[in-house]
Amino acid sequence: MFPLGIFAQTNETTENTPDPIAVVNGYIVRYSDLARLKSEYIATITELDSEDAMKLFGDRAKGGAIVVKLIGRNTIGTGEKIEEELITRAEKIAEAKEAERQRLAEEKAKAEEAERQRLAEQQVEEVAQENTAAHEDVASEEVERQRLAEEKAKAEEAERQRLAEEKAKAEEAERKGLAKEKAKSEEAERKGVAEETAKAEEAQPVQAELPVDAADASEAPANAEAEAPEASADKAEKEKPARPRRPRGRPPKKANTSTES
């Protein structure tokens, strides 16, 4: 079936919209006859909307106009003859409309492509910003982690020093306490020994001391008695006769009495 083109885009109902006028090889034909045209015989088809059609064909073209040229056929229609100038103007108007349509389509395509590229670039920029923000968050988290680690290390070191100081103080206090207790124990033991010694000395009887001269006189006979055996032994050793010495060398030979006799 013959395409209607722009006429299918009207919002009016079919009952209220008149059919466009049909012009085939310069003659007005019934609109219904267009459906019987074979596509292999059609050279060009020009469509006009109602506004442009009415400028060329008057009020009868309220529904628009369709101008058809056939291939190699000089068909003479039975309808009204349309001037060639009107057909040429219709073709020029249609060409201008088509050029405008293509221009608008290209502008639309360019605008859509530009918008697509803008959105793509925006998306890339958003991703880059997100990555930058993520890196900044990671860096901030790392800084915060290091800060917390340093604070924790300082707190642990301070706690360790505090515990070490408390331990040293406790050990020093314990040492002083033990030394004090040991000193008290030694002092008490020394006093006890001293008291026991004093009591023992008080309990022993007091012996009278002998004069120095009498003691020396009593020791003299004892010394004389001890020295007497030694003196007699020396005297006996001196008075003992000396033993004759044996001459050294070979003994003399005995005389041979057998020869003398």
Q: For the residues 178-192, what does the mean pLDDT come to?
A: 91
CB atoms within 10 A of CB 212: 8
Tokens, residue 190: 């020394």
Residues 6+ apart with CB under 8 A from 10: 17
> b or e along 26-46 (b: 16 or more beta carbons within 10 Å of the residue's beta carbon)?
bebbebeebeebeeeeeeebb
Whole-number percent of the chain with pLDDT over 70:
70
Domain boundaries, the chain: 5-82
Residue 72: what pLDDT?
73
Is it the case that residue 9 has pLDDT exceeding 80?
no
Residue 140: what pLDDT?
87
Is it the case that residue 11 has pLDDT exceeding 70?
no
Query: Average pLDDT over the chain, rounded to whole?
Result: 80
Residue 206: what pLDDT?
53
Strands 27-29 and 42-48: unpaired
Contact 56, 48 (CB under 8 A): yes
Could you read off the pLDDT of 109-131 as tens digits, one per residue?
999 999 999 999 999 999 999 99
Residue 77: what pLDDT?
59
Tokens, residue 207: 């012996």
Tokens, residue 6: 């722009």
**Backbone dihedral angles phi then psi of residue 12, each to the nearest 5 degrees:** -75, 155
Is it the case that residue 213 has pLDDT exceeding 80?
no
Could you read off the pLDDT of 241-250 as tens digits, one per residue?
556 555 555 5
> b or e along 61-92 (b: 16 or more beta carbons within 10 Å of the residue's beta carbon)?
bbbbbbbbbeeeeeeebebeebeeebbeebee
